[in-house]
Structure 1
Amino acid sequence: MYFCVYKLHSMKKLFFLLILVGLLACKKTETVKLIKLKGGVFGTTYNITYVADKNHQQSIDSLFYLVNKSLSTYIPTSDISKINKGDSTIVVDEMFKEVFKKSKRIYAETNGFFDPTVGNLVNVWGFGPKKEKKDLDSVQVDSLMKYVGLPKVSLEKGKIKKQFPEIYLDFNSIAKGYGIDVVGRFLESKKINNYLIEIGGEIRARGKKPNNKLWAVAVEDPNQDGTQSYEKVITLDNMSMATSGNYRKYRIGKNGQKYVHTVNPITGFAIESNLLSASVIAPADCADVDAYATAFMAMGLEKTLEFTKKYPQIKVILIYLNSEGEILNYSN
């Protein structure tokens, strides 16, 4: 008799636990939802979508603030602005260190076509914070090339050392991607593994949407007449994607020459190559693909194709002009 009572009591206890677990599971299912955040940052817009039960807007805004405080050339009190003004006492933070070390590696991989020391030239060509908009001749460009070259800058005991005080660091061609990585890591630290982060066209996608489908994005077709269309829609499976193009951000000089925002670090000129747009997709940090996209625009089509053969894990969608002036595309 005692055994039967004990067994009945155990069965009731087990039944109660099953109900409790079921209720908790239902509660969790009900609270998990698709959260969408949007706003402005880094001089552009952001859109963040993730599957979770909590809105992390405040924490993400704080992360954006820290990235800007470290790396923004548009904020006079940022660490990079102080360094560019000649302050050699700044001890840089971990964000700055990571971006600097990435830049060193990618500079080497691209044979100098990605070079954050091109900042002086970006400024005088009219694409920096001051919008100087000068039309330079070869002599003027040569005088500024003295201050270009990432090997002329080093990180020693937490401080940036420059061979010439005039060297101007500009991480804007990697900062959007890095900001995406910072947010992605934060979400993953909160056990959020299904998300899509987009800042100014750069993207990092992880996991899937609530309908169990992969995240889909559109690659823009750079129509030179100013109209907007899309080349193709692709799905991203745990990938980062960045696109660089000179078809919108450019100016026409007094001499009638078209100057683009991608300055070639090898020549110092802001003259467009035969690439109109380079979209880079890889299972890497978004900062990396952001930097590669910038480098490819300076390289031009032929050197970019050579690079992708050497690094086959990097996928590209290239839109370019052929010798007849026709707009064509290539993807691997």
Structure 2
Amino acid sequence: MYWGARELLIRWQGVAFLLLGALSGCGNNDALESFGGPTMGSTYSIKYVRHAGLSAPGEVRVQVEQILADVDLQMSTYRSDSDIERFNALPANHCQAMPASILELVRVGEQLSVQSDGSYDLTVEPLLNLWGFGPQAREEKVPAAEALAEARQRVGHQHLRIDGDNLCKDAAVEVDFNSIAAGYAVDTIAAKLEAMGIHDYLVEATGELKAAGRKPDGSPWRIALEEPRDDRQVAERVIVVDGYGLSTSGDYRNYFERGGQRFSHTFDARTGAPVSHALASVTVIHPSALMADGLSTLLLILGPERGWDYAEKHDIGAFFVIRADTGFVTRSSHAFDRLSGKKTE
């Protein structure tokens, strides 16, 4: 699978350390199973407690990797034979039959676009390519005004329409699911594990995750949220996750600089340009990993003030890391404190 590599602000070293302690202190017959591999230009990781009578680990892995393969074949913008890339290649005023998963994500994208007054949009791929961040990008650059105006004519969720099982477009728009596909994959894997009788697990794909239940020693899944920095690892907060999805979006890894100005890969579809505010990253906790994935991107686009107001208005669990003259400052919504459990050191 060749999707653009995404920022990973959630580190797994701390989680692995806790798991090792659980394994060595486990006094029952439950086993902690784990496996992972490449996916979507990054990696995935599955950890779960195997109780007596459940499927063999090999069968669990087969089911998980089939889900990831299906997501790749349907939603990847880095392979020309995927469902969405075949749709993207169509000219205006054409339709294509689509699997239910794609239609679901288009509906979620429309919801997030409406709620953000058009700042979030699934059809920004022409802008990503033009600025040098997309799958068809040639170089990172600040585009000329004429080229930007032309690309913006091919951006806008209002140009998409669902007609039965078909996805249609009235302009030559291109859909990019990178802001929600991993969350969808995590939810789908978690549902499969639940259907297989596995209720204690941590599922992660490209940094998006969902955790439920407990580890073999009865302790909860704890996740460390890091400062968005490259020089060293600093945990901003350690939270407990049980039954929720978690997603972090940030702009500190994928960007370029020109003339002393910083241009990130996060775009506001209303302006056609990268965002330029002080919000470095935002983490969202939500019952749905898909919604956590999309909302973390939406809040990152809106920025530290508009994003905060949006999160509080809609009761979204969000943790903001904001650049300041002295480093970083953090801010968590009331819903985040409520859903993430008691703060631990």
Corresponding position of 1:329: 330
Whether 1:315 aligns to 2:322 is no
Instruction: Give the root-mean-square deviation of aligned CA atoms.
Output: 1.7
Tell me the SS of whatever aligns to 1:160: strand
Whether 1:157 aligns to 2:161 is no
Whether 1:126 aligns to 2:129 is no
Corresponding position of 2:221: 215
State the shift of 1:63 in Å.
0.9
Q: Which residues in structure 2 correspond to 1:183-222 (within 5 Å)?
A: 183-222=189-228
Q: Which amino acid aligns with 2:254?
A: K
Deviations 1:174-224 (A, max 9, x none): 11111101101111111211111111211111111112221111101012x
Tell me the SS of whatever aligns to 1:258: strand
TM-score when scaled to structure 1? 0.85
Task: Say if 1:160 and 1:136 are closer, same or farther in 2 by CA, change over 3 A.
Answer: same
State the shift of 1:263 in Å.
1.2
Corresponding position of 2:255: 250
Whether 1:301 aligns to 2:304 is yes
CA distance in 1, matches of 2:153, 2:126: 10
Corresponding position of 2:61: 57
Tell me the SS of whatever aligns to 1:173: coil
TM-score when scaled to structure 2? 0.82
Q: Which amino acid aligns with 2:62?
A: Q
State the shift of 1:256 in Å.
4.4
CA distance in 1, matches of 2:39, 2:210: 16
CA distance in 2, matches of 1:127, 1:228: 26
Corresponding position of 1:268: 272
Q: Which has the higher contact order (CA 8 A, sep 6+)?
A: 2
Tell me the SS of whatever aligns to 1:117: coil
In 1, are the aligned partners of 2:95 and 2:168 still within 8 Å (CA)?
no
Q: Which amino acid aligns with 2:102?
A: F
Corresponding position of 2:42: 44
State the shift of 1:140 in Å.
2.9
In 2, are the aligned partners of 1:180 and 1:199 still within 8 Å (CA)?
yes
State the shift of 1:301 in Å.
0.6
Deviations 1:77-105 (A, max 9, x none): 00000011117453111111111111122
Corresponding position of 1:142: 149
Higher helix share: 1
CA distance in 1, matches of 2:153, 2:319: 34
Moved more, 172-181 or 121-130: 121-130
CA distance in 2, matches of 1:90, 1:115: 20
CA distance in 1, matches of 2:224, 2:121: 28
Corresponding position of 1:181: 187
Tell me the SS of whatever aligns to 1:216: strand
Tell me the SS of whatever aligns to 1:209: coil
Q: Which amino acid aligns with 1:250?
A: Y
Tell me the SS of whatever aligns to 1:70: helix
State the shift of 1:260 in Å.
0.8
CA distance in 2, matches of 1:83, 1:215: 40
User: Gaps (5+ residues) in structure 1?
Assistant: 1-28
Tell me the SS of whatever aligns to 1:168: coil
Deviations 1:112-165 (A, max 9, x none): 222101111011111111232232144432322222211211111212211212
CA distance in 1, matches of 2:205, 2:237: 19
Residue in structure 2 matching 1:93, options 73, 93, 99 = 99
Corresponding position of 1:287: 290
CA distance in 2, matches of 1:191, 1:151: 41
In 1, are the aligned partners of 2:227 and 2:234 still within 8 Å (CA)?
yes
Deviations 1:230-279 (A, max 9, x none): 211111121111001111111224x4432211111111112432100101
Q: Which amino acid aligns with 1:320?
A: I
The alignment-based identity, stated in percent, is: 29
User: Gaps (5+ residues) in structure 2?
Assistant: 1-27, 334-345
CA distance in 1, matches of 2:237, 2:330: 11
Corresponding position of 2:11: none
Corresponding position of 1:75: 79
Task: Say if 1:272 and 1:226 are closer, same or farther in 2 by CA, change over 3 A.
Answer: farther
CA distance in 1, matches of 2:38, 2:277: 30
Whether 1:238 aligns to 2:240 is no
Tell me the SS of whatever aligns to 1:251: strand
Q: Which amino acid aligns with 1:308?
A: A
Alignment size in residue pairs:
297
